[in-house]
Amino acid sequence: MNRPVREAKDSTTVLAKGAEIELSIEKLAFGGQALGRFGGLVVFVDHGLPGQRLRVRLTKKKATYAEATVLAVLDQSPHYVPPRCRHFGLCGGCRWQDLAYEAQLQWKQQHVRECLAQLAGLRPEDVAAVAPSPELWYYRNKMEFTFAPRPWLPEAELAAGADPEAQGAALGLHVPGSFQRVFDVAECHLQSPQTAPIVGAIRQFVRDSGLPAYDTRRHTGFWRFVVLREGKRTGEQLLWLITTAQGDHHAVDRLAARVREAFPSITTLVHGVSGKKAQVAQGESSRVLWGPGYVEEELCGRRYRISPASFFQTNTIAAEALYEAVERLAGLTGAETVWDLYCGAGSIALSLADRARRVVGFELVEAAIQDAYINARLNGVDNCQFIAGDLKDCLRQAMNSPHYVRPDVIITDPPRAGMHPQVIQAILELAPQRIIAVSCNPATLARDLALLQPQYEVLRVAPFDLFPHTPHIEGVVQLERKAAVL
């Protein structure tokens, strides 16, 4: 074993990949890694906590920073709590599961503050305290699981003689940093207690089926993904099984019959087929094997129909508080025209419909727009219109329409990559009185705010924790058009 190097002023010149060092963790960096310093070198550590003293091994060494893995905890953090899941450390999902929840909220607020200060020039006091999630476990309404030809096993199991080839197909979650390594999930505390037994039953059926799981290197095989969605308020469950066309689809019918008998709580099963090489759980075609092909959910007094591929806020219960904040900050009187950008299945648009004269939603995914119209009918809403297409194109088309009415309020809720620059330019030309920006990524939110700030003033920043035990944080920002801008 290498003798650990203790801190020295000139240590950055002698360290190399593989070196073992001791260091104290100062903070959690944006993205979730722990940060410590060794002499003049910044060291990012996976699964470290502020207040810990660690012995680590460097896995990457650059001129100004290094990355490391933990070998031993020499002094424990006062914020440490025992992780609940047996897969902690192997799974990349709940990487803060060993950090007390109060500390999670504080660090999430700090990360929002740092991002918005650095890129958008906001003050720390502009960012409110993080609203906690009402549920800390089993809060997700959607989980995606991936098939692989064989499970990925930790070194300790391989050293003990475990043979991944002999185990057959894997079905579980990705090992952090790799789309090719999948470990078998035996338990998960994110969606519902029944999730792991369902995944385990499907895994065993697939191993017995004789049909291979998809191989991302060779692009061959049959079984690809399992997606489970559930209505937290309704109790309905949807199973979306995605395969390639390189196999016997009668095997899917047999699996469906097995699942239906073993898990009567599953109210519908959809079989999707995808020939794309990208590891994205989407189907180019689909067939409903039983049930209606969707689940319904209740949110803020509305009922929503959710198809397999439609976007819907993952944490239903926490999303209610977020949507209430959007409504409050939008300041609607009933006379406004509202545009909802990246509207998904229409959840925000419909939650605002009673307080607006008219709401127009824009969304790329056609299936989500279809759901949005169905959801409007389900709730008796007749003042919403939904438009499908790439936002940077369909916003321009809407602005050039003879029926164009300038929006008074714009709501944005883009994916993690944030808004396209052409979408931001269109918003500036539309010049609504108020913008409510919803985001799941403080870094891209800050970038987008900086582009809007020449014409808009940020009034409020309200973070919401929709993803306990992860570094992710949702935010709602209220922007008002500056007085000199029309």
C-beta separation of 309 from 317 below 8 A: no
| Token pair recorded at residue 90 | 């192997």
φ, ψ of residue 98 to 5 degrees: the values are -95, 10
Range 412-439 average pLDDT: 96
Amino acid identity at 371: D
Q: Check if the beta carbon of residue 89 is closer than 8 Å to that of residue 48.
A: no
pLDDT the model gives residue 10: 47
Give the model's pLDDT for residue 264: 95
Q: Cα-Cα-Cα-Cα dihedral of 121, 122, 124, 125, to 10°?
A: 150
Q: Looking at residues 266-276, what average pLDDT do you find? A: 94
Q: Are 353 and 383 in contact (CB under 8 A)?
A: yes
Of 21, 25, 243, residue with least CA distance to 147: 243
Rounded to two decimals, what is the model's pTM? 0.90
Torsion of the alpha carbons at 203, 205, 206 and 208, rounded to the nearest 10: 120
Which domains does the chain carry? 11-75 (2.40.50.140), 116-135+315-481 (3.40.50.150), 142-298 (2.40.50.1070)
Going from the C-alpha of 215 to that of each of 24, 219, 278, the distances in angstroms are: 41, 5, 12
Is the pLDDT at 145 greater than 80? The verdict is yes
Q: Angle at Cα 224 formed by Cα 223 and Cα 227, nearest 5°?
A: 115
Q: How far is it, in rounded angstroms, from Cα 222 to Cα 214?
A: 5
Concerning whether 85 is annotated as a catalytic residue, the answer is no
Q: HSE-up of 134 (CA within 13 Å, CB side)?
A: 9
CA distance 110 to 133: 17
What whole-number distance in Å separates Cα of residue 97 and Cα of residue 100? 8
Q: Any bridge partners for residue 338, and if so which?
A: 359, 409
**What does 203-220 look like in DSSP terms, one character per residue?**
HHHHHHH-PPBPBTTTTB
Average pLDDT estimate for 176-184:
84
Q: Is the pLDDT of residue 290 over 70?
A: yes
Q: How far is the C-alpha of 405 from the C-alpha of 386, rounded, in Å? A: 15
Q: What is the pLDDT of residue 396?
A: 92
Q: CA 182 to CA 153: how far, in whole Å?
A: 9
φ, ψ for residue 271, nearest 5 deg: -105, 120
The SS3 of residue 167 is helix
**For residue 434, what are the CA distances in angstroms to 239, 405, 443, 451, 480?**
40, 15, 22, 15, 5
Q: Residue holding tokens 């759980």?
A: 281
The mean pLDDT value for 111-125 works out to 93
Task: Calculate mean pLDDT across residues 327-339.
Answer: 97
Helix (H, G, I), strand (E, B) or coil at 21: strand
pLDDT of the residue at 9? 47
Comparing CA positions, the residue from 293, 218, 221 lying closest to residue 251 is 221
More reliable by pLDDT, 322 or 279: 322
- Alpha helices per DSSP H over 62-218: 101-120, 155-159, 164-167, 195-209
Nearest 10 degrees: CA dihedral of 470, 320, 323, 395?
Answer: 80
Confidence of residue 3 (pLDDT cuts 50, 70, 90): low
Tell me the pLDDT band of 486, cut-offs 50, 70 and 90: low
> Residues 261, 196: contact at Cβ < 8 Å?
no
Q: How far apart are CA 262 and CA 197, in angstroms?
A: 10
What is the per-residue pLDDT for 485? 55
Per-residue model confidence (pLDDT) at position 168: 87
Other Cβ atoms less than 10 A from the Cβ of 176: the count is 13
Residue 409 near residue 434 (C-beta atoms within 8 A): yes
Non-local CB neighbours of 225 within 8 Å, separated by 6+ positions: 144, 145, 146, 147, 240, 241, 242, 281
Mean pLDDT of the chain: 92
Residues above pLDDT 90, as percent of the chain: 80
Residue 330 and residue 410: Cα distance in Å, rounded? 9
Task: Give the pLDDT mean for 141-164.
Answer: 84
Q: pLDDT, tens digit, for every residue of 460-469?
A: 999 999 999 9
- Mean pLDDT along residues 162-174: 83
Question: Which region among 34-48, 66-80, 158-172, 315-329 has the lowest average model confidence (pLDDT)?
Answer: 158-172
| pLDDT (average), residues 102-123 | 95
Yes or no: say if 128 and 461 are a contact pair by the CB < 8 Å rule. yes
Q: What angle do CA 239, 244, 249 make, to 5 degrees?
A: 70
* Torsion angle, alpha carbons of 67, 71, 72, 74, to 10: -40
Q: Alpha-carbon torsion 346, 350, 353, 355, what sign? A: negative
